[in-house]
Amino acid sequence: MKNNRIDVLTIGNALTDILANVSDDFLIEENMNKGIMHLIEADRAEQLYQKMPADKIQISGGSASNSAAGIASLGGNAAFVGKVADDEVGHFFSKDLRQNGVRYETEMLEHGAASGKSMIYITPDGERTMNTYLGACHDLTPNDIIEDEIGSAAITFMEGYLWDPPEAKRAFIKAAHFAHKYDRATAITLSDPFCVNRFRDEFLDLLRSKTIDYVFANIEELKSLYETDDLHHAAQMVAQDCEIAAITMGEKGAMAIANGEVISVPSVKVDKVEDVTGAGDLFASGFLLALARGKDLRYALNLGCICAAEVISHIGARPEENLRDFAKKYGF
């Protein structure tokens, strides 16, 4: 195993989650559909941000950022690449992510869109209504990809959600080029079925061209990628297209497909599932760190499921308990 300064470097949307408890009347006044994620523009984002209650909770977020925080919580060396603006929210994101133990050195956007934020309103019934402004996230460019940083990471992991903007796509390709130049692995998470439907051909090309070595997906994302309702068929197809596929199956656990072999492990049971947000992100934390440290696929699957179990046992997409200590309870 090479001497890596970074176990896993992740690339994705740099979003700050801003959570607040509100009444149902607030949603009605603001014309929001309860339980729905709304993509909003800059003016609306600023308007809602100013209306957030004083007791709001802010957390650095985004899928790839969550995975990096999970890796750090496991005791791994994690880095994140994602764009924020030089504003109040951007400075909060940077400070909070670093306090989570993640290396974060992407230059702030000086002129342009405000930092990305997701305002999450929680009503008394526990429903979450999200208003997400991507903002500066979409201003990630190839100039933000640093060869030495990518070259020192055992695995570079990219978030499918960030595949929309053309400059971010070029940044992904540049990162993959540097990773392979230094004989490092690349990985991508397909993010969600809607993302797959938009970019199916491009995602398949990333795998078949060997730009990406490992793919992460849940069952629906994998079936969507190959336009089939047959999981077995989708598994056969992905086995031909990439070195390793890691598939999460909810309460049924997870499986890895590599070298014609399928390995499955059960989920880790929790007393009560409170919030599945971040389950896939934290599964990736455990799986990627295990691979980066030279562990086998069964170990990686089990560690991924352990991390997912911790995050679904409470509200929020970040671990509340130190994951290294949590994993020790299961002999890891």
Question: Do 172 and 158 contact (CB within 8 A), yes or no?
Answer: yes
Burial track 150-176 (b if 16+ CB lie within 10 A, e otherwise): bbbbbbbbbbbbbbeeeebbebbbbbb
133-181: per-residue pLDDT in tens? 999 999 999 999 999 999 999 999 999 989 989 999 999 999 999 999 9
- Separation CA 187–CA 4 (nearest Å): 17
- Indicate whether 275 pLDDT > 80: no
Tally of CB atoms within 10 A around 103: 18
Domains, the chain, with CATH or none: 6-12+62-114+135-328 (3.40.1190.20)
**Phi, psi (5° rounding) for residue 135?**
45, -125
pLDDT score of 316 more than 80: no
Instruction: Provide the pLDDT confidence category of residue 216 given band limits of 50, 70 and 90.
Output: very high
Residue appearing with tokens 């990406």: 212
DSSP string, 20-57: EE--HHHHHHTT--TT-EEE--HHHHHHHHHHS-TT-E
Summarised one tens digit per residue, pLDDT across range 13-67 is 999 998 888 999 999 999 998 888 888 999 999 999 899 888 888 899 999 999 9
